[in-house]
């Protein structure tokens, strides 16, 4: 008798929430129907900085259906202390508090909400609110803001910030290096622009409790914020984010519509919904603008002798958002003289925020353009140059990796792409009027793991429910939870339901940092293992006691609805038979996975990272500088892959976003008005279908039992890192034109 | 969006009566007007839905031309057999724009009446003379990447966003309108206007006038033509510059030339002098470059859009080469021919 086939970790299971999503039964924050709900439409400031002098509401209040208008003048009491407004990210500074007072700190700041019986009445009335301002000088220009750049002192830094660690004498080594490259690189502001707009539907139950359907990457961070900032009390607030239409970091922090909707609900003691407009989506989170000076020195043989990086990113005047920019290049390459500095520059905008691979998507990408430039100076093949300077350890922290299959990724990617057929000289490949270029870059991201809890409940009808307050921002968390549970208990995915996106469920962090699959997966596995132990105990009552000599579930295989003695498949007990024998109607368990469990080694001794090698073919019209990205091969080393299908989708999405970063995405400031001016999907460009051609994803074999309990490293971010560098490098190889400022738009190519 | 009255008249006379007051607006496909109403930029108090009017046919004209009904959708026009065969530059220009969903809803009359995509026009928290006369122009001195390099004024540097109109300008189409004072025909070159001191007026329609049809003249330049659109992504972006070309070749020489540009001015940009430079010349880089420079003569950038002058010059040369070679730009293959 053979063990039944398992459908678990490693199988390309289609998304378990796929049908709900494509048939519209999956509900998003703005779609919940709540009885007697009112509609709030937010009025935002027309100026970038100053004070509200008067708010004339007369005409707006006269509109039939309008119930009330809430602003700083009549808002319900909210917490005074900044600590009551801190979300899970704990960005240092003074968090933005909607309607706090008459101060305007950024353009399109929410200043009032018109609440009406219908959305249409509220929208119309909102246009009639007449606001008079007293303006103050403002600055949104990054270049100008650099005069005020600073480094927050210890204790005033983001807790995720890693200061660069210098080694050797980089200045001297650079000065003496026979091969030198020094240049300044720049990344424009990008907005996360998830498909789903930020929305909060507050269900006011009337008994002191509220349920809030919120667009956020973590239900519990919204719950805590609402409970503390508005004094509702933790036990009275439940936040649901069962489906999230994209996040990209833009919804890691609860957004201002949550403040506005909650205040309106409290003020009116009614249920209220507030949804941002697409234009208002440009009023808050965005990837910081960055300037990065890179100096690289190499010996005559091409080996790096000096790496120096100095970067500044943008933040607001009221909070200090920080990223790791200069560390990635220092970590990635073998070099004994490294030196980095970092600062932030404040301007009169909302605080910049994490956006897919925050820091690395900027810092590693720009660094990989610089490395490419040095490779050409060294007369080396750009891939060979990277392998020549390959580091088997984290070069900055001087720590070994739990695993690093980047070399394999480079080789497999190059093989698949046909890199060997590349003509080395720029502008040497052509077909018709199109110049053809092949570029490469390598990517680096963190394999994170966060403390996460999950529960599991096995019923006598054979149905298993696993649950955690994690979020699925389109990444496949539901599916991963089902697969891990199926794998652990040997059940079919059809008999398993995953629940998430509800603050009442076991504690989980916000969905970000690529930690979701590893952390939620580990918690689900632990909870299911506890169920397994209870089943083993219950199996003691089965006739014939087939497991009389089994003391641990490690001696059992779980497959096909059975517990099976390893090495003796004839000794088996059905899970439901065990429950019956043990007199159990239901088995429940709740467990918490924390860093350090199982075989995980300590953060202090080893570096834990994902790696990638990206190969890009660009075709550029030689006269018109129109760029097409015709081919991408990306080889990813990310440990164990739970689901090759959803994993591939994650990487495809990252690559598409990377192409957008390279060629399209840019939020343009109007410096006079102090606002982002192209605030619509008509003029803020992301790639269209026509911009995306062949993309091939390879997952490199990288067994890593140390990194996390499941050997999983996470894939949310690595797909975008350095894609834009490979594009820029391919454009250079095609045209001989080096553009150091992203995105590479046609005007920049024409100017070279 | 403000509150408005909505009517759906069944005949043209009733439509004109409803549409004549200054606070009225005609609604066809709605792909532009409704957006502008949502943004609170268009604030009509009376919306006159003309979708029931009998303006939906594509019919042959006595002079050998073709009449495109104002309510024929952009998709129906682009995929019409006669249009594809006799006026491929019209079909190509339509397919270079928007998305299939938008083209399915947008009408020919609506297309030529669409408004600028200037960021400032769309944002009621910024000054705009086109939206609110006398406010000033936010774009001048602001972010001008998409703005005009030709025919702009100190009041307005907006561009006309239509692709179709660039082809119609090259073909010298005629716009049929009807209104309180009866029917009239407007030459395409006279239909749109430059901003001057009255930037709020995009075109020369009089109050209440309604576009009923667009007439394509007999000459379609169906052998040597192209519509080349250069933009910030390969689809679903307005033109940075676009060029419609029609050539008639005789014994290896250019007998007649039409060149119109989009994305550079408040209206499709044409200059007879530039076209005449090509007549009796052999197709080639030298003659094309002369024509390009003549068409762009006097072009002035605003800073962020300076590149349009050089991109425009190169684009015109390429478009002329495509047309002369009989290898028009494909709107499905994104490689530039």
Q: Which of A572, A593, A614 is at the close of a domain?
A: A593
Q: Which of A434, A672, A688 sits opposite B141 (nearest CB)?
A: A672
What pLDDT is attached to residue B130? 98
**The pLDDT of residue A601 is above 70:** no
Q: Which of A123, A279, A687 sits opposite B233 (nearest CB)?
A: A687
Query: How close B116 comes to chain A (CA, Å)?
Result: 12
- Tell me the sheet residues that pair with A130: A56
**The pLDDT of residue A159 is above 90:** yes
Q: Which of A283, A301, A330 is at the close of a domain?
A: A283
A residues 103-122 lying closer than 8 A (beta carbon) to B: 107-108, 120
Kindly determine whether residue A624 and residue B230, on different chains, have CB atoms separated by under 8 Å. yes
A215 shares its domain with A76: yes
Kindly determine whether residue B314 and residue A623, on different chains, have CB atoms separated by under 8 Å. yes
φ and ψ at residue A394, rounded to 5 degrees: -70, 105
What pLDDT is attached to residue A597? 73
A574 shares its domain with A613: no
Number of H helices, E strands in chain B: 13, 11
Residue A341 belongs to a domain: yes
Kindly determine whether residue A669 and residue B236, on different chains, have CB atoms separated by under 8 Å. no
Our CA dihedral for A58, A284, B119, B106, rounded to 10 degrees, sits at: -90
Our CA dihedral for B190, B191, B196, B200, rounded to 10 degrees, sits at: 160
Q: Which domain holds residue A561?
A: 18-23+450-593
Contacts of A679 in chain B (CB under 8 A): 119, 123
Contacts of B123 in chain A (CB under 8 A): 279, 677, 679
What pLDDT is attached to residue A595? 86
How far apart are the C-alpha atoms of B322 and B337, rounded to whole Å? 7
- Fold that domain B224-325 belongs to in CATH: Enolase-like; domain 1 (3.30.390)
Please count the CA atoms within 13 angstroms of the CA of A236 that sit on its side-chain side.
Answer: 17
Interface test with A, best of B143, B239, B243, B337 (most A CBs within 10 A): B143
Contacts of A624 in chain B (CB under 8 A): 230, 311, 314-315, 318, 336
Kindly determine whether residue A688 and residue B235, on different chains, have CB atoms separated by under 8 Å. yes
| Other Cβ atoms closer than 10 A to B242 | 28
Kindly determine whether residue A688 and residue B311, on different chains, have CB atoms separated by under 8 Å. no
- Tell me the sheet residues that pair with A181: A296
Task: Convert the pLDDT of each residue in A635-668 to its tens digit.
Answer: 999 999 999 999 999 999 999 999 999 999 999 9
**The pLDDT of residue A23 is above 60:** yes
Q: How many CB pairs under 8 A join A and B?
A: 104
Which class for B85: exposed (0-12), middle (13-18), buried (19 or more C-beta within 10 A)? Answer: exposed
**The pLDDT of residue A76 is above 90:** yes
A503 shares its domain with A586: yes
Contacts of A133 in chain B (CB under 8 A): none
B290: left (phi over 0), alpha (psi -120 to 50) or beta: alpha
pTM of the predicted structure, to 2 decimals = 0.97
Task: Convert the pLDDT of each residue in A712-731 to its tens digit.
Answer: 999 999 999 999 999 999 99
Question: Domain residue spans in chain B?
Answer: 5-52, 224-325
What pLDDT is attached to residue A5? 74
Domains B5-52 and B224-325 share a fold: no
| Other Cβ atoms closer than 10 A to B273 | 10
φ and ψ at residue B28, rounded to 5 degrees: -115, -105
- Tell me the sheet residues that pair with A615: A440, A633
A118 shares its domain with A261: yes
What pLDDT is attached to residue A331? 98
Residue A203 belongs to a domain: yes
A499 shares its domain with A521: yes
Contacts of B317 in chain A (CB under 8 A): 623
Contacts of A623 in chain B (CB under 8 A): 314, 317-318
Nearest residue on chain B to A671, alpha-carbon basis: B142
Q: Which of A124, A668, A669 sits opposite B3 (nearest CB)?
A: A124
Of chain A, the percentage scoring pLDDT greater than 70 comes to 99
A419 shares its domain with A462: no
A464 shares its domain with A586: yes
Contacts of B3 in chain A (CB under 8 A): 124
Contacts of A120 in chain B (CB under 8 A): 1
Residue A677 belongs to a domain: yes
Task: Convert the pLDDT of each residue in A134-158 to its tens digit.
Answer: 999 999 999 999 999 999 999 999 9
B172: left (phi over 0), alpha (psi -120 to 50) or beta: left
A411 shares its domain with A454: no
Residue A152 belongs to a domain: no
What pLDDT is attached to residue A332? 98
Task: Convert the pLDDT of each residue in A573-582 to its tens digit.
Answer: 999 999 999 9
> Is residue B208 less than 8 Å (CB to CB) from chain A?
no
Task: Convert the pLDDT of each residue in A219-274 to its tens digit.
Answer: 999 999 999 999 999 999 999 999 999 999 999 999 999 999 999 999 999 999 99
What pLDDT is attached to residue A272? 98
Q: Which of A628, A685, A751 sits opposite B335 (nearest CB)?
A: A628
pLDDT, mean of residues A49-78: 98
Nearest residue on chain A to B319, alpha-carbon basis: A624
A393 shares its domain with A291: yes
> Is residue A678 less than 8 Å (CB to CB) from chain B?
yes
**The pLDDT of residue A563 is above 90:** yes
Residue A719 belongs to a domain: yes
The correct answer on CATH 1.20.210.10 for the domain covering B5-52 is: no
Kindly determine whether residue A624 and residue B310, on different chains, have CB atoms separated by under 8 Å. no
What pLDDT is attached to residue A604? 78
Nearest residue on chain B to A128, alpha-carbon basis: B2
How far apart are the C-alpha atoms of A393 and A332, rounded to whole Å? 8
Kindly determine whether residue A691 and residue B1, on different chains, have CB atoms separated by under 8 Å. no
What pLDDT is attached to residue B249? 98
Residue A145 belongs to a domain: no
How far apart are the C-alpha atoms of A638 and A653, rounded to whole Å? 16
* CA-to-CA separations, A377 to A268, A285, A352, A735, in angstroms, rounded: 67, 39, 36, 16
How much of chain B is helix, strand and coil, in % rounded to 5?
Answer: 30, 20, 50
Kindly write down the DSSP assignment for every residue of A190-220, as one continuous string: B----SSPPEEEEEE-SSS-EEEEE-SS-HH
- Tell me the sheet residues that pair with B107: B73
Q: Which of A593, A614, A641 is at the close of a domain?
A: A593
**The pLDDT of residue A126 is above 80:** yes
Return the active site residues of A.
717
| Other Cβ atoms closer than 10 A to B180 | 14
Average pLDDT over chain A, rounded to an integer: 96
Position A2 confidence tier, pLDDT thresholds 50, 70, 90: low
- Tell me the sheet residues that pair with A557: A564
Position A1 confidence tier, pLDDT thresholds 50, 70, 90: low
Nearest residue on chain B to A667, alpha-carbon basis: B143
A77 shares its domain with A113: yes
B residues 312-331 lying closer than 8 A (beta carbon) to A: 314-315, 317-318
**Which of A599, A466, A453, A447 minimizes the C-alpha distance to A515?**
A447
What pLDDT is attached to residue A6? 76
Residue A6 belongs to a domain: no
How far apart are the C-alpha atoms of A125 and A127, rounded to whole Å? 5
Nearest residue on chain B to A432, alpha-carbon basis: B337
Q: Name A494's Cβ contacts closer than 8 Å, sequence gap at least 6.
A: none
How far apart are the C-alpha atoms of A559 and A491, rounded to whole Å? 6
**The pLDDT of residue A373 is above 90:** yes
Residue A394 belongs to a domain: yes
Q: Which residues of chain B have pLDDT under 70?
A: none
Q: Give the tokens for residue A565.
A: 């003695």
**The pLDDT of residue A179 is above 90:** yes
A423 shares its domain with A556: no
Count of domains for chain A: 3
* CA-to-CA separations, B114 to A311, B54, B98, B106, B282, in angstroms, rounded: 44, 21, 12, 10, 38
Q: Give the tokens for residue B219.
A: 């000459």
A571 shares its domain with A676: no
Kindly determine whether residue A677 and residue B230, on different chains, have CB atoms separated by under 8 Å. no
Kindly determine whether residue A683 and residue B119, on different chains, have CB atoms separated by under 8 Å. yes
**The pLDDT of residue A599 is above 70:** no
Task: Convert the pLDDT of each residue in A389-421 to its tens digit.
Answer: 999 999 999 999 999 999 999 999 999 999 999
Position A3 confidence tier, pLDDT thresholds 50, 70, 90: low
> What CATH number is attached to the domain comprising A421?
3.30.365.10
């Amino acid at each position: 008798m053979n063990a039944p086939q398992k459908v678990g970790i490693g199988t390309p299971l289609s998304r378990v929430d796929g049908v709900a999503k494509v048939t519209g039964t999956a509900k998003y924050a703005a779609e919940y129907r709540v009885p007697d709900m009112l509609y709030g439409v937010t009025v935002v400031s027309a100026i970038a900085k100053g004070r509200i002098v008067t708010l004339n509401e007369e005409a707006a209040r006269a509109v039939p259906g309008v119930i009330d208008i809430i602003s700083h003048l009549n808002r319900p009491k909210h917490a005074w202390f900044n600590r009551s407004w801190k979300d899970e990210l704990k960005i240092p500074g003074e968090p933005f508090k909607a309607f706090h007072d008459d101060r305007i700190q950024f353009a399109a700041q929410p200043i009032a909400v018109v609440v009406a019986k219908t959305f249409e009445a509220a929208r119309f009335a909102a246009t009639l609110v007449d606001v008079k301002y007293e303006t103050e000088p403002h600055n949104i220009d990054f270049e100008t803001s650099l005069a005020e750049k600073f480094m927050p002192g210890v204790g005033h830094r983001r807790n995720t910030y890693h200061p660069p660690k210098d080694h050797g004498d980089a200045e001297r080594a650079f000065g003496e290096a026979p091969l030198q490259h020094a240049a300044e690189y720049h990344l424009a502001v990008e907005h996360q622009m998830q498909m789903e707009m930020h929305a909060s539907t507050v269900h006011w139950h009337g008994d002191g409790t509220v349920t809030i359907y919120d667009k956020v990457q973590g239900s519990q961070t919204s719950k805590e914020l609402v409970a503390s900032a508005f004094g509702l009390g933790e036990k009275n607030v439940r936040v649901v984010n069962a489906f999230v239409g994209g996040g990209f970091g833009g919804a890691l922090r609860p957004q201002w519509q949550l403040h506005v909707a909650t205040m309106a609900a409290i003020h009116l003691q009614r249920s209220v919904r507030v949804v941002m407009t697409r234009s208002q989506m440009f009023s808050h989170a965005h990837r910081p603008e960055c300037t990065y000076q890179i100096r690289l020195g190499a010996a005559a043989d091409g080996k790096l002798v000096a790496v120096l990086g100095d970067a500044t990113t943008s933040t607001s005047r009221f909070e200090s958002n920080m990223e790791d920019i200069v560390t990635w290049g220092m970590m990635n390459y073998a070099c004994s003289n490294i030196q980095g500095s970092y600062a932030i520059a404040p301007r009169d905008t909302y605080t910049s925020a994490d956006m897919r691979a925050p820091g690395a998507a900027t810092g590693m990408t720009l660094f990989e353009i610089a490395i490419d430039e040095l490779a050409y100076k060294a007369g080396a093949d750009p891939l060979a140059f990277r392998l020549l300077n390959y580091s088997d350890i984290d070069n900055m922290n001087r720590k070994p990796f739990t695993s690093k299959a980047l070399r394999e990724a480079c080789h497999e990617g190059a093989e698949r792409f046909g890199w060997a057929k590349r003509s080395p000289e720029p502008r040497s490949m052509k077909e018709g009027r199109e110049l053809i270029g092949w570029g490469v870059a390598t990517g680096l991201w963190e394999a994170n793991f966060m403390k996460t809890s999950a529960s599991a409940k096995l019923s006598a009808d054979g149905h298993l429910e696993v649950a955690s307050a994690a979020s699925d921002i389109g990444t496949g968390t539901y599916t991963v939870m089902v697969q891990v549970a199926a794998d652990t208990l040997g059940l079919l995915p059809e008999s398993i339901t995953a629940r998430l996106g509800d603050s009442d469920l076991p504690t989980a962090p916000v969905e970000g940092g690529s930690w979701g699959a590893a952390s939620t997966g580990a918690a689900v596995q632990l909870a299911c293992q506890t169920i397994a132990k209870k089943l083993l105990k219950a199996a003691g009552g089965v006739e014939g006691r087939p497991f009389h000599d089994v003391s641990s579930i490690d001696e059992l295989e779980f497959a096909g609805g059975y517990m099976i003695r390893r090495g003796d498949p004839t000794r088996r007990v059905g899970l439901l038979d065990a429950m019956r024998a043990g007199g159990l109607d239901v088995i429940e368990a709740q467990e918490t996975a924390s860093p350090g469990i199982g075989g995980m080694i300590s953060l202090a001794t080893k570096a834990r990272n994902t790696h990638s090698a990206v190969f890009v073919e660009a075709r550029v019209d030689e006269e018109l500088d129109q760029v097409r990205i015709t081919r991408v091969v990306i080889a990813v080393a990310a440990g164990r892959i739970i689901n090759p299908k959803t994993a591939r989708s994650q990487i495809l999405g990252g690559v598409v976003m990377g192409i957008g970063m390279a060629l399209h995405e840019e939020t343009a400031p109007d410096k006079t008005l102090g606002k982002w001016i192209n605030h619509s999907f008509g003029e803020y460009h992301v790639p269209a279908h026509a911009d995306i051609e062949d993309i091939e994803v390879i997952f490199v074999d990288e067994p890593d039992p140390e990194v996390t309990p499941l050997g999983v490293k996470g894939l949310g971010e690595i797909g975008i890192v350095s894609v834009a560098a490979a594009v820029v490098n391919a454009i250079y190889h095609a045209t001989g034109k080096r553009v150091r400022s992203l995105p590479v738009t046609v005007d920049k190519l024409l100017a070279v | 969006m403000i509150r408005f009255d909505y009517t759906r008249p069944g005949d043209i006379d009733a439509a004109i009566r409803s549409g004549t007051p200054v606070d009225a607006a005609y609604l066809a496909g709605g792909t532009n007007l409704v957006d502008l109403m949502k943004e609170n930029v268009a604030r009509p108090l009376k919306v006159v839905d003309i979708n029931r009017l009998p303006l939906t046919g594509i019919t042959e004209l006595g002079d050998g031309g073709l009449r495109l009904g104002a309510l024929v959708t952009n998709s129906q026009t682009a995929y019409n057999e006669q249009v594809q065969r006799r006026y491929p530059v019209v079909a190509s220009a339509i397919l270079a724009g928007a998305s299939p969903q938008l083209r399915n809803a947008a009408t020919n009359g609506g297309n030529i009446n669409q408004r600028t995509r200037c960021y400032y026009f769309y944002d009621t928290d910024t000054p705009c003379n086109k939206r609110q006369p006398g406010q000033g122009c936010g774009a001048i001195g602001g972010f001008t990447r998409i703005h005009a390099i030709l025919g702009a004024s100190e009041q307005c540097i907006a561009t006309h966003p239509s692709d179709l109109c660039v082809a119609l300008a090259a073909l010298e189409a005629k716009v049929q309108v009807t209104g309180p004072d009866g029917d009239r025909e407007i030459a395409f070159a006279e239909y749109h206007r430059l901003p001057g001191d009255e930037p709020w007026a995009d075109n020369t329609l009089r109050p209440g006038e309604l576009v009923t049809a667009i007439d394509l003249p007999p000459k379609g330049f169906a052998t040597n033509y192209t519509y080349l659109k250069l933009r910030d992504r390969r689809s679903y972006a307005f033109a940075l510059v676009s060029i419609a070309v029609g050539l008639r070749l005789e014994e290896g020489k250019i007998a007649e030339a039409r060149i119109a540009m989009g994305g550079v001015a408040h209206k499709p940009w044409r200059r007879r002098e530039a076209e005449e430079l090509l007549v009796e010349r052999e197709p080639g880089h030298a003659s094309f470059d002369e024509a390009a420079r003549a068409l762009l003569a006097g072009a002035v950038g605003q800073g962020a859009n300076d590149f349009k002058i050089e991109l425009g010059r190169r684009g015109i040369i390429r478009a002329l080469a495509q047309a002369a070679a009989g290898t028009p730009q494909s709107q499905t293959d994104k490689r530039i021919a």
